[in-house]
Every structure is written in C-alpha cells, then in structure tokens.
Structure 1
Amino acid sequence: MFAAGQKEMQKMDQYTIEKIGLPGVVLMENAGARVVEEILQSTTSSRPRVIILAGGGNNGGDGFVIARRLFDHGLHPQVWLLVDPVRIKGDAKIHFEIYIKRGLPLFHLEEKGLEMLMDQLKQADIIIDAILGTGVNGPVREPLKDVISLVNTYEGKKSIISVDIPSGVSSDTGKVEGEAIKASKTVTFVFPKKGFFLNEGPQHIGEWMAVDISVPPTIVKDLALDLPKLITEPLAKAAIPIRSKHGHKGTFGHVLILGGSRQYVGDPIFSAKSALHTGAGLVTLAIPETIYPMAAAQNPESLLLPLSAEDGHFAEKAIEELAPLLNQYDCVAIGPGISRFPNGEEWMKALFSNLTNQPVVIDADALYLLSNQKDLLKNYKGQVIMTPHPGEMSKLLNISVKEVEGNRLEIARQFAEEHSIYLLLKGHRSVIATPSGELYINPHGHDALGKGGSGDILTGLIASFLAQGASPINALISASYLHARAGEERAKELSNYGVMPFDIIDGVKRLLNEIQHSCTKFYTLN
C-alpha cells in the first residue's frame, strides 16, 4: 500500500477517467457507496440519526451520494449544504441534482443558521464530514470554520466520520492552519493520504481505512508515481529473516553493541537483550571497563568486552583494543548510552577507519559524534543505518526540530540520498529512507513507546535482523513494525503509561511467536 498526496490523487483520477474510461460520477458513486457500507457495518443502532455536512466540491458530491444511499436503506439523514448551491460544480453538481430530483430534504446553512445546526448536531448519533476533502489550501474560512469548531465539541462523544480526509487537514503535509475536523474514523479512497502520518494529521484522522472505488491497483506503476510505501503487516512479515531449523549460534550472526558510559549503563544492555531475544546467535556487549561489573550483573546472556575507559566513557585506547576483533562481527551497533565526551569525534573517526565493512547501525550520541564529519558515511564501504529522533536529526542538519518535523519525508529522503545511507527518522510515525530515495512510512506506534530505552530496543532489533542476513531495508521495515506493534499490544495489558523497555522485547517475542506459527516460510530445512 502507498500513501498519496493531492496531486498524485488528481493524476490517478484523471487517468482512470480519461484513459480507462470510468466516469468521475461513477467513481463518486462508488466512493459514497463504500462510506455507506462502513456506516451500516459499524453502527450498533438500527436507526442511527445521521447528519451529513456537505461542501461544494467533490467531497460534498460524495456526501450527496452517501445521503441518497442512506435514504435507500431506510434511514433519514439530514443533509446540510454549507455553501451557496451555485458553487457546486462538475461531478458533484450532477449528484447534487440527482439528490434534488429525488425530492430528498436539504438544509441550507445560510437559511437555517448555525444555531439550528447546533441543535440538530446535539441529537445526531453520526456526523459525516464531507466538507472540504483533499483540496484544502490555507486556513479554513467562515462559515466553515465555525461549523468545524462546532463539530469538534463532540469529539469522543459522537461518531464523526470524515470522507477521504478530515476537512482542514492538508493531504500532502498533515498541517492544520486554523481549524480541522477531529474524526473518530476516516474512510479514504484508493490510498491513505500522506497527511495522515505527518504533522497534525495523526491527531485528526482517528481510525482510518482505505477503500476501493474501482481505481485499478496497477495505477501507481502505470503512472510511474513516486509514492511512499506504507509498512503493512504482510510487508513486515515478508521482511523478517528466514531461519533454518538446523541452524546454530554461528548461523544466526554475531552482533557487536558498542556503547555505555558512567551515566548510561542500561542503554547498551537494552540493545543487547533486544538482539538476543529476537534471534541473533551471539551478542557481544563492548562497554567502558568502569561499568563492567554492573553490565555483567544485568546481562549474563551476552559476551562482555570491557574496553579502556577515561572519566566514565571510552578512552582513546579502546579503539586499539577493539580493532583486531572487529572482523568477527556480522553487524555493529554504535551509540546506545555512549554519551558525548572530549575527543569523541576523533574516537569515532578512528573507529570507522578500523571497521571491516560490515553493516553499521548508528544511534543516540554516536549520531552527535558524527554530525560534524558526515564524510565518514560516504567513505565507508559497508552499509550504514542511522536511526535519529527529530532532535538528533536537527543536529545532523543544523536546523531546528520544527523544520525537521515540518518536512519529514523530504528531509529523510534527501539525507539518505546525499550520504548514501539508510535512515530511520523516528517519531510518532517513523519514516524510512533508502540511498536510492525510496520512502516508507510506519503507520503504527503511540505514546507507550515514549520512554527512555525504547530506541535502544529498536537499535538491537535492527542489528539482530542484519546479523541474521536481512538486507538493510528489510531489517528496518520488520524491526520498526514489530517494535511499534509490540508497544501497542503491551499497552493493552499494561496501559500506555506502564510499558517499559523490556516489555517491548516481550511484545516483539510474542509477535514473532504468532508469525512463526502462522507462516511456514520462516523455517527452512536447509
């Protein structure tokens, strides 16, 4: 599945209408029909009271189809037209005229007024937002702004269903300028919109579903559209490395976790445990020798490699001690708990000069130590995976966090392309970018993951899958999906407040267990 913006959807509609020959009025009929199906399937009432708020564009046209079909099912929805009828054009006008010719009732906001609408909304069970759709640009104007504000007073109290996208949310960026509907559910057409996963979009869409309206599934290929891919369950399952039933610890890779410092003892331990619990054959935890006793006591499963320390962090001599051993590791994860320390940039440069071209995962303060010497990334012969959160990304680019969050997709793409690396830009909806410019969006995860140590679990998970033979993109897809879904599932038992890093590991193991028993392809006889 892909995520699309306004222009891409317009191209798809135009292609379907002009090249395939399916008229726009038919697409609009199909769209309205699918929304009605969802209304009827999701309501618990046999006679729900429905109010449809219709604008003058195609979104309003969808609303007229919805209303007409609800009448055909024996319901009596109220349709409120929020604009002057002369503003209704094109396919929407055809469906508006069909609705009128049927003799079905229509309420004009200009005639009835906001107070009467307010009274009717109080009595409604379901409010249908067919006001603006994907064409919104800039702040919503009056009287639509007041109508949206009024609808939002019923957030969490009534079922608010947005048609295609909540009115007021940009389909390209997810930005809201002024007011936007806060839907409990969004029924979108063909593909989810990019704005569902960016900026304020996730706060407005509620539960979402993409429905078929007869736009052909090959259309992205036919039009050669460059769209972000959505990380779905089938995509994530297919990306998980396959295991051999006759494998042994040498079969499943050796991960080196390089991190830790006096004040951050737990971070590298989280990463090491995550890698071991998700299939890595061996994990070596390389830490400053001063924290060795604490690390050894908490992590007996890993091999421990204490290295020279200075003032609670890695000393310059640590690279000399580590260098002869580096060729034995299938993947190296650098950064969990490493901290920022004097001469850290020189230390990082020396490390890169001794790595043996295995995949490298860079996280946490290792990103900071690389921020002024990004040439190390291009010069490295192996594959580099970076996993910054927005604050770390802002440091890498020397821009504000606000700028990062305002343009996540393009910033991730440009950085990955420029530096020939794989990037996972963390956040409420994480974005993955490849050196060739491909983009992936993870639609899962929520505040249960918003806790120190959560990112370290993800680092270990990515490193584990890389060591087991997954490609960088497959490791990122599967790890980010499992990490997010584990947080969601454990929160159901422990609450969004109570999920701890080790709970995420437990959640990942449960998901892998389900996958193991449902998909025979994960185990071979070789």
Structure 2
Amino acid sequence: MQRLYRNCYEMDRKCYEAYGLSEDLLMEHAAEGMARLIRERFEAGARVFIVAGPGNNGADGIALARLLQGRFEVGIFLPMGARSAMAKLQLERARRVGVRECEEMEEAECLVDAIFGAGLSRPLSEEIAALVETMNAMEGFKLACDIPTGLDEGGRPLPTAFRADATVTMGALKEALYLDAAKEYVGEIRCVDLGIDRLLYEEESRSYLLEADDFDPPLRSDRLAAHKGSFGHAALFCGEKEGAGIIAATAAARFGAGLTTLVVHEKVWAPPFLMRATTVPPKATAIAIGMGLGEYFEEELLQKEVVDSSLPIVLDADAFSKPELLQVLHQEHRKIVITPHPAEFVRLWRILSKEELSVEAVQADRFDLARRFSALFPHVVLLLKGANPIIAHLGELFVNPLGSPVLAKGGSGDVLSGLIVALLAQGYEALDAAIQGSLALALAARKWEGADYGMLSTDLIKMLVHLD
C-alpha cells in the first residue's frame, strides 16, 4: 500500500527549506529516473525524441536529453521555447554536450512528453492540443514526464491528453494519475525519488494506493477443529433478476462463507450448494441486498429483515433507488458496505442530499465526492466502482488500480457483492471486507487467460481458487 497525494508542492518546499536541496538537484534526480527507464527498455543507439515545454516540466525533459546524449540518438523539440530559469539553464547544458535541437516533430523509438506537468489548470491551446494529437498518432514507445500533458491536477483531460505507455512521476504518487478518466492516458506508473528516500520526502496522507501484495485471502489452515458454522452464514436477497442474486451467492460460497442462503419468496433454480429460505436465517452472520432486487419484496418484509436487523450488510444496485433501505446508512453501530457504480451513486446522492449530479460529474470528481460522502456517513464504507474503484471510510480513501477491461461485463458487480458479504459473514471489519473483496475481484480477472471479451462472471468466480 502506498500513499497518494493531491499534489507535491509542500513536499518539494520541505526539500528546499528543511533538507537544503536545490531545485537543480531535484530536477537532476527526476531526469535520471526517466533515463533509467529508457536505458532498461532500449538498446544503445535507439532514437529518443523529447518534446519539452517552456517551464520546469520542459526543463526535466531537457535534462533528460543531456543524460541520454552519447548513448542514444537524441533529438529535442521546444515548440514554445525555454522560458523558466531552469529551462534556460538546462538548455544551455544540453547544448554544451551536443544535444540536437529540432524545428519539428520526428519519429523515434521512444517519444517523451515533457510539455506540461502536474498543476495544469486551463485547457490546452489549439496549437498544443494539435501537437499532442500528432504525438499520439506517432509510432514508438511513449513516455510522460510527471503526468501526461493535457491532464489537469484532478486527472481530467483538457480536452485531450498525451497517451503514454508509461509515466514517470516525481517524488510521490498523485491522485490525478488514478482518476478513471486518466487510466487511458498514464500507462504504467513509476515513481522516482528526488534526492532523498520517499520515507523522508513524503508526509502523512489519508489517501492510499492498494497493491497486489495487500491481498490477504481467507485462511482455514489455522482452525483445524472448525466446522461450517465457524466461517459464517451469508444471506443474499434474490429478487426479480434472480441471476444476479445467484451469481453473488455463488461468489460468497466460493470465497469462504461456511453457509450461503438465497432469500426468496418463490422457488428459484439455484446450484445445490446454495440453500433457500423466505426470510433471513436466524443464524445468518451477514446479509447482502440489491443485486437484481427490483420490486420483488414487500416494504414490510424489507423493514423487518433488513432495516431492523443489526447484521453486517452489503447494499448494491437496486438498493440505491429505495429510500426505505437507505435508512440503514444512519445506523452508526452497524457494519455497512455500499457498492454503487457511478449511475447508482447519482441516485443514492439524490436521495441522501437532494443534490442533482450527472454521471459525468461523478466521474470527474470521484475523489472529492468520495470524501464528501465519507464526511456525511463516516461509519459507512463506500466502494465507488469504476476503472479504479475508490473505497472511502472515516475520511480515508483507498484506490484499487488493478482492475482490467475483463471486468466490464454484467455480473462482475454481483460477484463483488458476494465476495464482500462472504468476508463480513466470516467476521471481517467492513473496511477490510471491502478492500479484500475489491482486490480479489481484480486479481481473479487477471488470472483469466482467454479473450478479454469472453469471460463470464461464472468464469471470474472459478478464478478465485487460484488466488494466493
């Protein structure tokens, strides 16, 4: 798990004031971090072409050109010249070692974007937007310096952005790199130190990036005298679209719940390892509701079995259209996990706050909206689905960047609900259940070896047995 930050300005200032490091020294380390990646990927003599902006992001790129000169065939293009003091200084140094300055774009095996870095606050000019599109259309490996040109401080394209195969970011990881909208632009993300170890550079943060190593699967080997009741009893409401409930319950059973029951009020077909009941079983240890729910259950039953219950709960899908079920969110001493996708969050937010949002607005401000929700309901664990799901609890954010397009298919969210309720049933805290369920879903998708378009939710459930 790594820390995430909105920006690094204060940490850079600490380097100058507390550690006596110069801007020049930090820039040298930034450039060396990019040079290291290029040396790893390319043989000596490869063509590297760097497009540098007029400010300090451009200065990083110019310093990179100097570091690569001699080993590689380097060209540099400065469409707006060098304006900042550091850009001018780095350009003078590059000229002294013989870096070739170009008057137009050239093809290369490696194309480096060092036009604008973090902090962009206005749309790109027509000229620079056209230049970025030209760069995107070129062949070769594409590397972005700090953040792809065209992404603003929140990670939104303005209106277009450089599509990098890799981004070398400086000092610490930035939230902007992990907004859903940024995922198509950043590629592989590498963070490089700026003259001191990250432990000294970084400050406290309430945002974190999840990693594969954070996954900790449910274990049974330390409970040799256990029986099925030792691992909880998950009850999942199976509604109008019964397939959603069955998928979720199957995932719960696969992920360690000792017993799994579908709550129904008429007979449905289900795998033989799933039990069926018309009410929540008295020994249930967690419940999940919303997946394909529709208008299947009467309000009186929902009040009795869900709202008046104290069992840990997962709310998903259709639950976010039902004000009666959302009463649960006010129960401060209950373990609660909610898993809306952006459109469901719009409906949820409208009921809770009376504020109208669009899906586009949610996607543009995912981090801030997750924080706002957590401020209103700090005890509730929000898992806002997306390309990079955000988990919010008690004002802290956890971002899962491990998902893939394999998951962009109906049923994936039902699997997620099943994973989380299975962990709640086994006694996990709500935050841990959400984090581990989210990681399990993403890692299971990565185990799929078939075509991206070909995976079914049932295949995803089968992949769970290969996680370790």
- TM norm. shorter chain > 0.5: yes
1:69 to 1:443, Cα distance in 2 relative to 1, 3 A: same
Deviates more, 1:496-505 or 1:243-252: 243-252
Return the alpha-carbon distance in structure 2 between the equivalents of residues 269 and 456 of structure 1.
Answer: 9
Classify the secondary structure of the residue corresponding to 2:458: helix
Normalising by structure 1, we get a TM-score of: 0.82
The alpha carbon displacement at 1:410 in A equals 1.7
Aligned counterpart in structure 1 of residue 143 of structure 2, from 151, 161, 168: 161
Aligned counterpart in structure 2 of residue 97 of structure 1, from 92, 107, 110: 92
Map 1:99-498 onto structure 2 (within 5 A). Answer: 99-107=94-102, 112=103, 117-118=104-105, 120-121=106-107, 124-154=108-138, 157-170=139-152, 172-219=153-200, 223-226=203-206, 228-237=207-216, 240-243=217-220, 244-246=222-224, 247-261=226-240, 264-291=241-268, 294-295=269-270, 299-305=271-277, 307=278, 321-322=279-280, 325-326=281-282, 328-340=283-295, 344=299, 347-355=301-309, 357-370=310-323, 374-379=326-331, 381-398=333-350, 399-419=357-377, 420-434=379-393, 436-490=394-448, 493-498=449-454
The alpha carbon displacement at 1:342 in A equals 8.1
1:93 to 1:340, Cα distance in 2 relative to 1, 3 A: farther
Which residues of structure 1 form unaligned runs of 5+? 308-320, 516-526
Is the 2:209–2:400 Cα contact (8 Å) retained in structure 1?
yes
The alignment status of 1:10 with 2:9, answered yes or no, reads yes
Is the 2:171–2:201 Cα contact (8 Å) retained in structure 1?
no
Return the alpha-carbon distance in structure 2 between the equivalents of residues 301 and 23 of structure 1.
Answer: 65
The alpha carbon displacement at 1:4 in A equals 2.3
Is the 1:348–1:369 Cα contact (8 Å) retained in structure 2?
no
Instruction: State the match for 1:30 in structure 2.
Output: 29
Classify the secondary structure of the residue corresponding to 2:198: coil
Q: State the percentage of identical aligned residues.
A: 31
Instruction: State the match for 1:61 in structure 2.
Output: 59
Deviates more, 1:436-445 or 1:282-291: 282-291
Deviations 1:403-442 (A, max 9, x none): 21121112122223312311101111111000x1100111
Return the alpha-carbon distance in structure 2 between the equivalents of residues 279 and 410 of structure 1.
Answer: 34
Letter in 2 for 1:158: G
1:472 to 1:214, Cα distance in 2 relative to 1, 3 A: farther
Q: Name the Cα RMSD after superposition.
A: 2.1
Return the alpha-carbon distance in structure 2 between the equivalents of residues 187 and 201 of structure 1.
Answer: 14
1:190 to 1:467, Cα distance in 2 relative to 1, 3 A: farther
Task: Give the count of matched residue pairs.
Answer: 458
Deviates more, 1:59-68 or 1:378-387: 378-387
1:225 to 1:453, Cα distance in 2 relative to 1, 3 A: closer
1:343 to 1:268, Cα distance in 2 relative to 1, 3 A: closer
Which residues of structure 2 form unaligned runs of 5+? 351-356
Greater percentage in helix: 1
Return the alpha-carbon distance in structure 2 between the equivalents of residues 143 and 401 of structure 1.
Answer: 30
- Larger radius of gyration between Structure 1 and Structure 2: 1
Is the 1:340–1:368 Cα contact (8 Å) retained in structure 2?
no
Classify the secondary structure of the residue corresponding to 2:167: strand
Classify the secondary structure of the residue corresponding to 2:100: coil
Letter in 1 for 2:399: I
1:396 to 1:169, Cα distance in 2 relative to 1, 3 A: same
Instruction: State the match for 2:354 in structure 1.
Output: none
Letter in 2 for 1:330: T
